[in-house]
Amino acid sequence: MAVIEIKLCLLGDSGVGKSSIVHRFVYDSFRPYMENTIGAAFLTKTMIVEGRTYKFQIWDTAGQEKYRALAPMYYRGAAAAIIVYDITRESSFHAVKLWLAELKRHASPNIVLAIAGNKNDLEDLREVSYQEAQDCAKSHGAIMIETSAKSAINVASLFVEIGRRLSNLDMTMSLPSSNSNALNVNQRTGQDVKGRRKCCGF
């Protein structure tokens, strides 16, 4: 069975719950008091959806929020990006739009974008409506999902959806005619499918 390796990075304001989402996804737990400041540089998680094995390699971007000019180093090498905002903080949603604009300009055209409205367990404090986010995502062709790292709502489905989209893309992309403009992340993903299998015994 092929392993589809997906490198992805999380973007978004600080405090929106990027690390929590990753932590929920990878360890399936929520730590209200995060113990590790640094944590791991790369977290990986393998999951099987519809017979396909996805291996997510998540780039830790903690601490970089303020240094936006450095972000391209992360997202340029990524096959997918999750832009996280906090549904209880309007300003964090504003940042999503900025990120979308930036990614549209400077990331690979094939990058799979996902917008995650985190903390949707705090419905009473909501400042960003679901519809607004949905519209924004639609206009950029991004996945949009509201999550709660705390309550484990939709976190897995967020990644499943990304995997699904990427593998679709991968199928269309793997044709030899794939345009030369495409960032080779996806090509690389294709290689990994074969390469990894051979050498790592998945």
Partner 1 sequence: MGLGSPRAGIARYPLVAVNVAFNPPSGESVTCVEPWSRTQKLSRLNQQQTERFKEQITPESATKVQASPPDHQRDAVLHDNEVEEDVAVEMPPPMEEIKTHTLPPSQPTSEEDRDSSHPSEDGASGDVDRELPSTASDAVASTDGAVETSAEPPKEEQQAPQSEQSEEESFVINELIETERDYVRDLGLVVEGYMQTIQSGKKPIPEDMQGKDRIVFGNIHQIFDWHRETFSKEVEKCADDPERVGGLFIKFENKLHMYVRYCENKPKSEYIVAEYIDYFEELRKELGHKLQLPDLLIKPVQRIMKYQLLLKVCLFLRMVVFIEMHEDKYCKYVCIHALPPPPITHTHTHTHIYTHTHNGYDCLLFPKQDILKYTDRMGDDTKILQKAVQVMCVVPKAANDMMIVGRLQGFEGKITAQGKLLLQDTLMVQEHNPKAAKGDQQKFKERRVFLFEQIIIFSEEIEKKNNLSNPGYIYKNSLMVNKMELDDKSSTDPLIFALIDKTPRSNLHLICQAPSDQVKQNWVSQIRAILEMQKDFLAVRLSLSSSKAFNRIVLFFTSYSQWSSPELGSTHRSSLLRKTHSHPQSDKMAMVSPPCDPGFRLSDPQKYTRCKSVPTPLPKVDVDPSNKTKKNAIALMLSSALLPTKVGELPPGGNPKTSQKNTTSSSPKPKRNFLEGVKNTLRPRKSPDNSSTSSSHGIIRASPAPKDSDLVQIAAETELTKNADTYAMILSSGDRAGNSGLNSLLEMASVQPDDTPTDDTS
Q: Where are the alpha helices (DSSP H) in the chain?
A: 18-27, 71-75, 90-106, 130-140, 155-173, 184-200
Q: Closer CB to partner 1, residue 154 or residue 167?
A: 154
The reply on whether position 134 binds partner 1 by CB under 8 A is no
The reply on whether position 141 binds partner 1 by CB under 8 A is no
Binding to partner 1 in span 39-58, by CB under 8 A: 39-48, 57
Q: Closer CB to partner 1, residue 42 or residue 135?
A: 42
Residue 76 main-chain phi, psi, to 5 deg: -70, -30
Binding marks (x or -) toward partner 1, 3..42, rule CB under 8 A? -----------xxxxxx----xxxxxxxxxxxxxxxxxxx
Q: Strand, helix or coil at 122?
A: coil
Output the DSSP codes for 6-64: EEEEEE--TTSSHHHHHHHHHHS---SS---SS--SEEEEEEEETTEEEEEEEEP-TT-
The reply on whether position 89 binds partner 1 by CB under 8 A is no
The reply on whether position 194 binds partner 1 by CB under 8 A is no
Taking CA atoms, 119 is separated from 116, 133, 135, 192, in Å, by: 9, 14, 19, 34
The reply on whether position 2 binds partner 1 by CB under 8 A is no
The reply on whether position 191 binds partner 1 by CB under 8 A is yes
Window contacting partner 1 (CB under 8 A); options: 130-138, 147-155, 169-177: 147-155
The reply on whether position 199 binds partner 1 by CB under 8 A is yes
